[in-house]
Amino acid sequence: MKKLIAVVLISVFCLSSCVEDEVPGLQKTNVSLNFKHNWDGAAITNANFNTDKYFTAEGDELSIEKLRYLISSVTFHKENGEAIVVEGYNLVDVTNNENQSYVAPIQVPIGVYTNVSFTFGFDNTDNIEGAYTDLNSASWNVPMMMGGGYHFMQLEGKFINNVATEVGYQYHTIKAVNNTDPMNLVFQDTFFTVNLGEVIVHNDSSIDVNMNIAEWFKGPYQWKLNDWHSMLMPNFDAQVKMYDNGQNVFSLGTVN
């Protein structure tokens, strides 16, 4: 009987502790976003770089040597329309296995969110020329002749071209710019919002964000590396196509 009472008391204590820890909207918690990468489902880390080969939708065989990209303004959307915006940014560096887990710099109330989103790259308010010392130190800048500010992504490697020769590619995404007339640059926004969908935030929640790298080459524009593999930063049309293809790149993974 004593044992039974002890078990009941411990259970009640544990239960009450849990309830106390996870009162929706009252208690705040750390939330981390873990960026994971794949090629149509096959996991990719920097261990796969250089050696492993992948085929694009167009049939181009490529390798990956560098991948880093910028995300900013993670936002937690409530059903009532309220949004909790986490100011800040994170440069995901897959090549060097750095910043692939991003702990939001503010705590977020535990509870149900109808959507968690972030910006791929910087929006125009945040994309300030030379403003961020860590990004400057990482040589992440875009030259002023292309509008300044910062890169959104650098994906590099080699592919086999149409004469069976291995050639480098540099799939760099920035704000699209037509700099044909240096005195009159024409821009088009290419940052975009990634909507991950509903997320239930628990204590110390961990949200996996998956990037399917193959999607950058898949659709709606089926990328032809033979046509576009190099000097893509000042290529306005290429940047717009990258923006289009980027819409399907990210998805929500496991949430803990």
* Residues in contact with other proteins by the rule CB under 8 A: 49-51, 65-66, 129-130, 133-134, 136-139, 141, 143-146, 156-158, 165-170, 230-231, 233-234
- Of 67 and 201, nearer to other proteins (C-beta) is 67
CA 246 to chain centre: 10
In angstroms, give the least distance from the CB of 201 to other proteins.
Answer: 32
Cα-Cα-Cα-Cα dihedral sign, residues 13, 15, 20, 21: positive
In angstroms, give the least distance from the CB of 133 to other proteins.
Answer: 5
- Of 118 and 132, nearer to other proteins (C-beta) is 132
User: What are the Cα distances from residue 92, in Å, to 57, 102, 105, 143, 179?
Assistant: 25, 8, 16, 21, 28
In angstroms, give the least distance from the CB of 55 to other proteins.
Answer: 18
- Of 124 and 136, nearer to other proteins (C-beta) is 136
Q: Give burial (CB, 10 Å; 0-12/13-18/19+) of 216.
A: buried
- Of 51 and 125, nearer to other proteins (C-beta) is 51
In angstroms, give the least distance from the CB of 153 to other proteins.
Answer: 14
In angstroms, give the least distance from the CB of 156 to other proteins.
Answer: 4
How large is the C-alpha radius of gyration of the chain? 22
Compute the distance between CA of residue 137 and CA of residue 189 in angstroms, rounded to an integer.
25
- Of 134 and 227, nearer to other proteins (C-beta) is 134
The helix/strand/coil state of 13 is helix
